[in-house]
Amino acid sequence: MGKPVIEFQAREGYALWAATYDRDPNPLLALEQRVAARLLGKLAGLRVIDVCAGTGRWMSIARSMGANVIGIDLSEQMLQRAAEKPDLAGRIAGGDVSRLPFHDRAADLAICSFGMSYVTCCAAAFRELARVAQRVMVSDMHPAAKQAGWTRSFETASATCRLTHHTHSFETLEAAARDAGLSSESSVEARFGEPERSIFAHARKEHLFASVSHIPAIFVKTWRHAC
């Protein structure tokens, strides 16, 4: 018999996942980073807010590119991991993407990486993203992947832990962004490629690579204010 599957809400699940989140390579995150890096352009000197910062992955990337960065997240445990990274000390705070603790136009760029799918109403989140930033990047698991049965999950010694999340259609995301005053800038839908094969092999799941690599795995979209 396999491990039992336990369903968690996001905050509860990430409290458990935080201890090992950075330990094991994640092919979804690797693919997203590979794709999104091409869309962001130069960040040197820009103000960047990571609104679902987690353990600070995108914060560290933005810092390495010369950005002035701050991150927020609902998970205290994930932020504790971020705070242990020397380049992120003093740059994190608890916060909710639907009620951002920043003044209007506080940032040049707001990043929401794999966080929108934990928001019930993406319209409220986009209003806040558009309020605080000139430009917005949202990435997440592709709706086609969710339709194919992919889940947000991680393993513990005793169970498979699955995170409850929502799938927002591209039409819903675009409408929410437009209503918030943002104009579409770029959009990429990506599948796993050879750079991610080694991650599957590391997890002893290379036998799955061929069957999943034809399914769109993630999307990355950017929007900006007209002026």
In this predicted structure, what is the pLDDT of residue 1?
58
Task: Say which CATH number the domain at 124 has.
Answer: 3.40.50.150
In this predicted structure, what is the pLDDT of residue 197?
97
In this predicted structure, what is the pLDDT of residue 192?
98
User: How many CB atoms are closer than 10 A to CB 207?
Assistant: 9
In this predicted structure, what is the pLDDT of residue 149?
93
Domain of residue 9, residue span? 5-224
In this predicted structure, what is the pLDDT of residue 24?
86
Number of domains the chain is built from = 1
In this predicted structure, what is the pLDDT of residue 116?
97
**Beta pairing, strands 107-113 & 47-50:** parallel
Three-class DSSP labels, the chain: CCCCEEEECHHHHHHHHCCCCCCCCCHHHHHHHHHHHHHHCCCCCCEEEECCCCCCHHHHHHHHCCCEEEEEECCHHHHHHHHCCHHHCCCEEECECCECCCCCCCEEEEEEECCHHHCCCHHHHHHHHHHHEEEEEEEEECHHHHHCCCCEEEECCCCEEEECCCCCCHHHHHHHHHHCCCEEEEEEEECCCHHHHHHHHHCCCHHHHHHHCCCCCEEEEEEECCC
45-69 confidence digits (pLDDT tens): 999 999 999 999 999 999 999 999 9
**Positions in the chain whose pLDDT score sits under 70:** 1
In this predicted structure, what is the pLDDT of residue 86?
86
pTM: 0.95
In this predicted structure, what is the pLDDT of residue 226?
84
